Structure 1
Amino acid sequence: MGNSSSMLTQYDIEEVQEHCNNLFSQQEIVSLYQRFCQLDRNGKGFISADEFMSVPEFAFNPLSQRLLRMVDGLNFKDFVAFLSSFSSRASLQQKIELMFKVYDSDCNGKVTFNDILAVLRDLTGPFMTEEQREQVVNHVLKEAGYTQDCSLSLDNFIKILGKSDLKTEVEVPLD
């Protein structure tokens, strides 16, 4: 399944569907496999950071460096599972879990004031001062009932964002 010269069997497709909680149809999985094979230029069965950066939408994303640590070296099954979080069929919890991983840059299971500030820095670039960013993060944390000194677990993160009308759908090009 990982080699770009191989074809997906019906068993492979069903296995991938199960791995991504059936968020993609069989045809979508076949299309994603074709895209995966295009990205896997060296045919090793996984996509490297350099290969991911060849996708313009990914390369120009202000969070691309954060996402790279999540996607570098993914095989096809994990590639589809990663993309499933962006599907309109994914649950709010799945989307929040992905966001949590983006914020938790040191992978310690906690999101701190500095983690949130770093993401805001990536997103705003030179358009906000550091002081403005700190004010925004402090305000958001205060509104959610937290302080600058706290660290949020995944459960806290879900409680905060689960109340919002979160829109994290991204159209995944299948062709």
Structure 2
Amino acid sequence: MGSASSLLTQYDIEEVQENCNYLFSQQEIVALYERFCQLDRNAKGFISADEFLSIPEFSLNPLSQRLLKITDGLNFKDFVAFFVCLQPKSFLPAEDWQVLVHLLNEAGYTRDASLLLDDFIKILSKCNMKMEVEVPVD
């Protein structure tokens, strides 16, 4: 493993796995950590908006300014939690979407409201839904 992954202990990996309900393997967490370290150019322990914008796919996304509101300043654990909330095909059964929309409305969110990452994670946890994301592992 490279120098970045050597800073991640077995305990850290297991803690992150537990935090994300074991949706990522240890190998995927190490790969995410290596990518996190690449983005965290000044080794501050968090990723700034400018660093997120250095990702071409992110900066070209028409929703990038909205996404920056929830991604600016993410530490590694929050970085992984952000990916837990994503799904490669954005597929949820219709009943799960209805529950999610209902919970968002109950929480006071409208179409025009900005959703904070912590709130999004809490709302998803109330739904008992699992979303998947694929992490390429070299």
Give the TM-score category using the shorter length.
Answer: 0.5 to 0.7
One-letter amino acid of the structure 2 residue matched with residue 10 of structure 1:
Q
Instruction: Compute the displacement of 1:40 (Å).
Output: 0.1
Do residues 40 (structure 1) and 32 (structure 2) align? no
Whichever of the two has the greater Rg, that structure is: 1
* 1:50 is aligned to 2:42: no
Higher relative contact order (CA 8 A, sep 6+): 2
Task: Report whether the alignment pairs 1:110 with 2:108.
Answer: yes
| Aligned residue-pair number | 115
**How much has 1:172 moved relative to structure 2?**
4.2
Amino acid at match of 2:59: A
Matches within 5 A, 1:24-173: 24-87=24-87, 92=92, 109-112=107-110, 115=112, 171-173=134-136
Q: 1:19 matched to which residue of 2?
A: 19
The residue number in structure 1 matching 2:118 is none
Using structure 2 for the length normalisation, give the TM-score. Answer: 0.66
Which structure features the higher share of strand residues?
1
Runs of 4+ in 1 over 2 A off after TM superposition: 109-113, 168-175
Distance 2:51 2:15 in 1: 25
- Structure 1 regions of 5+ residues with no counterpart? 119-153, 163-167
- Give the aligned residue type for 1:111: Y
Unaligned regions of 5+ residues in structure 2, if any? 115-122
The equivalent residue for 2:119 is none
CA drift at 1:170: 5.7
RMSD of aligned residue pairs (Cα, Å)? 3.7
Deviations 1:90-126 (A, max 9, x none): x959x96xx97xx99xxxx42335x18x9xxxxxxxx
Give the conservation status (yes or no) of the 8 Å contact 1:86–1:169.
yes
Q: 1:66 to 1:169 in 2, by over 3 A?
A: farther
Counterpart code for 1:41: R
CA distances 1:44-73 after superposition (whole Å, capped 9, x unpaired): 000000000101111111111111111111
